[in-house]
Structure 1
Amino acid sequence: MSIRIGNSCINCENLSTNKLCKVHGVKVATNYTCDSFNMKAALKNDPNCGNCARYETTTCANPQKATPGMLCSHWAPQNAQA
């Protein structure tokens, strides 16, 4: 089975940081989609400590070793900020 990024609002360039659709002017959930969906131009595939949600927090699995560029099995993506 293939893993794909769905055509959901979370992957749409029309989604603002407060989960407001710039096209329809309504608040949406991340699993919504519509016919005006436009995929974000670039998706980041660079998982490392520098963009991990756990970096420099109490939930970091390796606080003594974690550095930007390092990758571990506990990596968690940060929320995208537009």
Structure 2
Amino acid sequence: MAIRMGNNCVNCKNANDAMQCKIHEVKVSANYTCDQFDMKAEIQNERNCLTCLRYEGPTCAHPQKAAEGMLCSSWAPDTAA
């Protein structure tokens, strides 16, 4: 099962740092989403060996084949934005 970003207020560019919605002018949280949801542009989805937490580590599923640009079903993000 892949892990994906949710279409919720935490990932919406309409929510400011204080989790106040600029559209609805209310306090929001990760439990909310709406029809005006607009994904933050900063979120990246660069899924390859170089961005994988397991790359060159003991839990890498394919240590002999892992390389830049390669994708696999065991990919895990090395950082979270």
RMSD across aligned positions (CA): 3.5
Larger radius of gyration: 2
Q: TM-score with structure 2 length normalisation?
A: 0.53
SS at match of 2:50: helix
Q: TM-score with structure 1 length normalisation?
A: 0.53
- 1:23 pairs with 2:24: no
Unaligned runs of 5+ in 1: 14-20
Q: Aligned pair count?
A: 67
Relative to structure 1, the CA distance from residue 46 to residue 67 in structure 2 (aligned partners, 3 Å threshold; closer, same or farther) is same
Instruction: Spell out structure 1 runs of 4+ moving beyond 6 A.
Output: none
Identity %: 47
Relative to structure 1, the CA distance from residue 74 to residue 22 in structure 2 (aligned partners, 3 Å threshold; closer, same or farther) is same
Unaligned runs of 5+ in 2: 20-28
